[in-house]
Amino acid sequence: MVNKEILLIVDVFSNEKDIEKDIVFQAIESALESATVSRYEFPVKVRVAINRDTGDYSTLRRWQVVEESDEFQGGVEFPTTQISLQVAQIDNPDIEVGDFIEDEIESVEFGRISAQAAKQVIIHKVREAERKKVADAYMDRVGELVTGVIKRIEKGSVYIDLGGNADAFIPREHMIPRETVRVGDRIRGYLKEVRTEVRGPQLFVSRTAPEFVLALFRLEVPEVGEGMIDVLGAARDPGSRAKVAVRSNDLRIDPVGACVGMRGSRVQTISNELNGERIDVILWNENEAQFVINAMAPAEIESIVVDEDKHTMDVAVSADSLSQAIGRGGQNVRLATELTGWELNVRDADQVNKDTQEELGKLVQLFVEQLNVDQDIAMVLVEVGFNSVEEIAYVPSSEMLEIDGFDEELVETLRTRAKDILLINAIASEEKIETAEPAEDILAMEGMTDELAHQLASKGIVTMEDLAEQAVDDLLDEFSDMNEEIAAKLIMKAREPWFAIDNGEVEK
């Protein structure tokens, strides 16, 4: 009767919960093991084995084989659960450390208490199996849109039912600000992450991620879903404004018009989903300066200066458009920066022109003084793009001969004078370095010698601060007789004041 009861429980839970029978058998075995262990006043290890066909079960007490130790009486630390290798090998010479010796003992009856314990274990395993099933089902759907019904709201965070025993969680920070939602509402989001932890939410959804906007465009704009238009990126201020960059793969299709739709119908549908978030659809351009101009819309750009080394662009707009270009709270320029990947500095065009004229005037004066030429020639050099004496000294003669009014004699004269002034400056700089005296702080450094301090000063490393800014490779390149260990120690010693300031220490 008991055997049939076990088989009946297994069948019921397996069919109702749609989990494997073996999982239920394991749960019952765990419950019987716990009931058996509770009968002893001292720790024991037991194993219960249920016959999957008949429901019969046996209980085995177990001892783990360990190395014998003289430190403990009997050679083992826990004699109720362990046995020494030497003793175990008396009956089984092939047994090894880590194996188990088992003896059959009297089994507990599968009564009401055992059944109740088994039920709890089964429920726990069922939950684990269901969570694993949900995780497996949604693992490949990360990056997709999901839709569900709001089950509950806790402190601004939302739990939604996706159906099929799958629940998702939208953290408060991933809900659109000032968005009103109620229990029972249908809500859509971007599946950002799937976690496999035993407890807590598994599916994490976002309504503020830029990818959510991209996914909505793929859903609402057929040309995007079919690959005729690419949505290349988005920048958002959730609930307020977004900028989306698009590109057409078909010259016959206007990507901006297709995404906006007839009378703005398509983009309005997406905006409604985002709680009224205003969306600017931007035409992508492979010319990054033009892309920035498009991204700064609706502001009119008068000029752009690109600094590729710093990855920045100075954007000049008229005084009337300055506030529009920056946007409320800097929103427009911030979103354009995020979308394009360039650090954008918005400036008043009038002020930019004034500053430019001043810089050009200084450069003209520099050429007049250093190259000993009249102002007209200096102005021509500036207008064609020369920014330094070095450029004039080393630019190919053929390029300078292309300048209107420049002949070979004038070009050669300019290049010679430029090289002469560079040589004079280099000699003066070298003499200044060679006569440099090391500062008191570097002379007093631990591990520093007077000779080494003067050698460092000759290379322009005069103070501890100068030394602290060096890298090990820099010193090894300058001083062939210095090894890596000494260089590292000197630099770290020079940097000690930095760490003192970081730790809040005050110099006295």
Quick: pLDDT tens for 176-203. Answer: 998 889 999 999 999 998 887 767 678 9
pLDDT at 267: 93
CA angle 159, 163, 166 (to 5 degrees): 60
pLDDT at 129: 74
Structure confidence by residue, pLDDT tens digits, 322-351: 888 888 888 999 999 999 999 998 888 777
DSSP strand pairing (229-237 vs 241-248):
antiparallel
Structure confidence by residue, pLDDT tens digits, 198-246: 676 789 999 999 999 999 999 999 999 888 999 999 999 998 999 999 9
Q: Counting Cβ atoms within 10 Å, is residue 465 exposed (0-12), middle (13-18) or buried (19+)?
A: middle
| pLDDT bucket at 508, cuts 50 / 70 / 90 | very low
pLDDT at 446: 85
Cα end-to-end span (Å), the chain: 88
| pLDDT bucket at 506, cuts 50 / 70 / 90 | very low
22-38 mean pLDDT: 83
- Contacts (Cβ under 8 Å, ≥6 apart) of 256: 246, 281, 282, 283
Structure confidence by residue, pLDDT tens digits, 366-378: 888 888 888 888 8
Residue 278: its H or E element: strand 278-283
Q: Is 176 left (phi over 0), alpha (psi -120 to 50) or beta?
A: beta
DSSP strand pairing (343-348 vs 186-194):
unpaired
249-274 mean pLDDT: 91
132-145 mean pLDDT: 85
Q: What are phi and psi of 228, to 5 degrees?
A: -75, -25
Model confidence at 396: pLDDT above 60: yes
Crossing angle of helices 408-434 and 349-371, in 10° steps, is 90
- Which residue in this structure is represented by tokens 């004041």? 497
Q: Name all domains of the chain by residue range, CATH numbers in brackets.
A: 2-124 (3.30.1480.10), 140-208 (2.40.50.140), 286-370 (3.30.300.20), 440-502 (1.10.150.20)
Crossing angle of helices 408-434 and 375-383, in 10° steps, is 90
18-42 mean pLDDT: 82
Model confidence at 504: pLDDT above 60: no
Structure confidence by residue, pLDDT tens digits, 271-316: 999 999 999 999 999 999 999 999 998 888 888 888 888 899 988 8
Structure confidence by residue, pLDDT tens digits, 95-133: 888 889 888 888 877 666 566 666 677 777 777 777 887
Rounded to whole angstroms, the Cα distance separating 122 from 180 reads 40
- Contacts (Cβ under 8 Å, ≥6 apart) of 309: none
Rounded to whole angstroms, the Cα distance separating 435 from 433 reads 5
List Cα–Cα distances, 367 to 353, 364, 423, in angstroms. 21, 5, 16
The mean pLDDT value of the chain amounts to 84
List Cα–Cα distances, 105 to 48, 78, 102, 289, in angstroms. 10, 20, 9, 83
Q: Can you give the pTM of this predicted structure?
A: 0.60
Rounded to whole angstroms, the Cα distance separating 447 from 482 reads 13
| pLDDT bucket at 429, cuts 50 / 70 / 90 | low
- The letter for the amino acid at 218 is R
Residue 179 has which token pair? 């968005």
CA angle 199, 204, 209 (to 5 degrees): 155
Rounded to whole angstroms, the Cα distance separating 278 from 331 reads 12
Structure confidence by residue, pLDDT tens digits, 401-421: 888 888 888 888 888 888 888
Q: Counting Cβ atoms within 10 Å, is residue 129 exposed (0-12), middle (13-18) or buried (19+)?
A: middle
User: Which among 3, 111, 2 has a CA at the least distance from the CA of 55?
Assistant: 3
pLDDT at 31: 80
Model confidence at 13: pLDDT above 60: yes
Determine contact, residues 78/71, Cβ cutoff 8 Å: no
- Which residue in this structure is represented by tokens 């430190």? 71
pLDDT at 247: 94
DSSP strand pairing (145-154 vs 157-163):
antiparallel
58-85 mean pLDDT: 84
pLDDT at 319: 79
- Which residue in this structure is represented by tokens 């900028």? 243
